[in-house]
Structure 1
Amino acid sequence: MIANIVIGGVIFSYAGWMLVRHIKKSSKGKCASCSLADNCQGSCTPYQQENRI
């Protein structure tokens, strides 16, 4: 019974952490939260493309 409570607690804690992480990333915007934002050649980062020249 204790094992079930611990496993359930771990699952709900992880789900809560992922939900908070998703909300924080989505509030930054599409390109700001992208893991490739520093190396992106897309249209979202015109400032970074101008400074590379």
Structure 2
Amino acid sequence: MKGIFLLLLIGAVSVALMTDDLIKALAELVGFVCLVALLFLTKKKKRANIKLEAEEL
């Protein structure tokens, strides 16, 4: 899942660098949404690991 978001983020950044106006704005928006999704997935995984460690104690 993270790989898909990462590829989409790279694609959106490359499209934003090569185009102008509306397409650039949409590519930047897609890139931002993908970045937020990656951060959310990473934080969610870290919270799950911490929760498991706390139960083991």
Cα RMSD of the aligned pairs, angstroms, is: 1.5
- Number of residue equivalences: 31
% identical aligned pairs: 0
Gaps of 5+ in 1: 33-53
| Structure having the larger proportion of residues in helix | 2
Q: Which has the higher contact order (CA 8 A, sep 6+)?
A: 2
The runs of 4+ residues in structure 1 deviating greater than 3 Å are: none
Q: TM-score, normalised by structure 1?
A: 0.54
SS of residue matched to 1:14:
helix
Write out per-residue CA displacement over residues 16-49 of structure 1, whole angstroms, 9 at most, x where no aligned residue: 000000000110016x6xxxxxxxxxxxxxxxxx
1:11 pairs with 2:41: no
